[in-house]
Amino acid sequence: MRSLLFAPGNRPEVLAKLPRSSPSAAVIDLEDAVPADRKVEARTVAHEVAPTLASEVRLFVRVNAPDTIHFVDDVLDGLPEGLAGVVVPKLASTADVDTVVAALDAAGHADLSIVAGLETVAGVMDARTVTTHPRVGWCYFGAEDYVADLGGVRRTDNFEVQTARAQVAQAARLGGIAAIDMVVADFGDDERFVREAEQARALGFSGKLCIHPAQVSLADRAFRPSDQELVWASKVVDAYEEALARGDAAISVDGAMVDEPVARRARALLAEVAG
């Protein structure tokens, strides 16, 4: 899930292009990208385009939040066959997830895992209650909704969301799921996107939400270990295994100390590309 590409559910001509940039997954959006008076149309379009899209890309649908008037109809009428899961925004508690699960199961979608949107103050503060739910398979941080709920000011340096991002990444780790980082709304600013993606990877995120096909390749590259990292990891693992064999558990590699935590990080990098 290095790249999760969204497109408006009421725009079939745009949805048809989702697979072209080869994202990790694509999302038919029934929520923010669709005006209130086009929700019914978007649900119909989702069913029309899903068979083709699901054969070409890992496909999700984002429904409206559980506390909206659109949620029930989205679950009943907007989830076609062949989905890899359902994206649900603005979840803040175990009770919220239970509500979603009950609705999905009642509508015949007991097989769908949830991509949980953590994008409110409550959702971020209590993120662990969401990420550890057994039906939640992934989560994402939504900065725009979070800052609006917080009453803060959105900044290009992301100062106002740095703590929230870290909390979401930590909660995802505790739940054993992948965390996906926030949108860069200015889809023409490649430099900002790459900078944010690199920061997100350092925090423990595995990918980034994308709203334009050009962002997909940027995300895929940013969240993949670099050649330099892999050379370092291989050198560390080899040296540390030799050290353990002779009874040493703390060594120096290229002038830097290597012990078990460092070796574990190196093994994880190698496992990432091997997997």
166, 239: one domain: no
Predicted local confidence at residue 14, as pLDDT: 97
pLDDT at residue 275 greater than cutoff 80: no
Higher-pLDDT residue of 41 and 228 is 41
136, 238: one domain: no
d(Cα 157, Cα 163) in Å, to the nearest integer? 13
Predicted local confidence at residue 145, as pLDDT: 97
150, 262: one domain: no
Average pLDDT over residues 212-241: 90
> Phi/psi zone of residue 179: left (φ > 0), alpha (ψ -120 to 50 degrees), beta?
beta
pLDDT at residue 105 greater than cutoff 90: yes
pLDDT at residue 83 greater than cutoff 80: yes
What is the domain extent for residue 258? 227-274
29, 47: one domain: yes
pLDDT at residue 35 greater than cutoff 80: yes
268, 151: one domain: no
19, 143: one domain: yes
Average pLDDT over residues 203-215: 97
Mean pLDDT of the chain: 95
131, 163: one domain: yes
Predicted local confidence at residue 25, as pLDDT: 98
- CATH code assigned at 144: 3.20.20.60
11-15, 25-29, 198-202, 257-261 — which is least confidently predicted? 257-261
Q: How confident is the model at residue 172 (pLDDT cuts 50, 70, 90)?
A: very high
Average pLDDT over residues 63-79: 98
Instruction: Give the chain's domain count.
Output: 2
Average pLDDT over residues 158-171: 97
68-77, 143-152, 176-185, 237-246 — which is least confidently predicted? 237-246
